[in-house]
Amino acid sequence: MEPYNNDTGVHNRVQITIDLNELVWARGEHLKCEMSVNQNEYLAETLRRSLTWDTMYSMIDQTILEFFENHEHPEVWDPHYGETTIESIDVTMEKEQKAREKEFKKNFDMVKLESSSWTLEVPVRKKKVVKKKEEKKEVSADTYKAQEHRYSDPQ
């Protein structure tokens, strides 16, 4: 893969450019170490020859490992072209369509609205039957005897 398109000159990769002279100067100011231009150039040249990227590599490695530890399925980030055929997509869509139709028939009735010049079928939501729970009343012995007395035949 080319790092950039030769026709347009558009880069498709991340590129970092470090000016060691500016970096040494900025870090020297941060550390409150005044230096001359010659000292700055000497330190930058020394770093150019001796600088290792161990810290940056370890940071990149740590980021990669954290990504794969925190994502259950990192493979979903990569497209797998050709694994799903058109036939399997059609079957899936057909199953989903049948499920939607079943759910629709369960919740709606189709009603015809007619006029002299047109007829239109519209869905009307079915009324849900709510069953009321019968409340059981606790009956004490005294209340029961009173009710029994009221309904009994006087003799």
| Residue that has been written with the tokens 């209340």 in this structure | 143
- 91 shares its domain with 72: no
- 90 shares its domain with 72: no
- Any domain includes 10: no
Query: What pLDDT shows up at residue 49?
Result: 86
- 29 shares its domain with 73: yes
| Mean pLDDT across the chain | 77
Query: What pLDDT shows up at residue 3?
Result: 60
Regarding beta strands 119-125 and 108-114, do their DSSP bridges make them parallel or antiparallel, or are they unpaired?
antiparallel
Query: What pLDDT shows up at residue 88?
Result: 77
Q: What share of the chain is helix, strand, coil (3-state, %, to 5)?
A: 50, 10, 40
- 32 shares its domain with 61: yes
| SS3 (DSSP) at 48 | helix
Computed on alpha carbons and rounded to an integer, the radius of gyration of the chain in Å comes to 40
Query: What pLDDT shows up at residue 126?
Result: 87
- 51 shares its domain with 69: yes
- 66 shares its domain with 98: no
Query: What pLDDT shows up at residue 18?
Result: 86
Tokens of 136: 């059981």
User: Which domain-ending residue is among 77, 94, 112?
Assistant: 77
Q: Which residue ranges in the chain fall short of pLDDT 70?
A: 1-12, 72-85, 129-155
Query: What pLDDT shows up at residue 33?
Result: 85
Overall number of domains in the chain: 2
**Quick one: CA dihedral 80, 83, 86, 91, positive or negative?**
negative
Q: pLDDT tens for residues 42-56? A: 898 988 888 887 887
- 26 shares its domain with 71: yes
Q: pLDDT tens for residues 59-73? A: 777 877 777 777 766
* Domain range enclosing 26: 20-77
Tokens of 144: 């029961």
- Any domain includes 35: yes
Q: What are phi and psi of 75, to 5 degrees?
A: -70, -15
- 60 shares its domain with 100: no
- 52 shares its domain with 70: yes
Task: Categorise residue 125: left if φ over 0, alpha if ψ from -120 to 50, beta otherwise.
Answer: beta
Query: What pLDDT shows up at residue 98?
Result: 94
Query: What pLDDT shows up at residue 50?
Result: 85
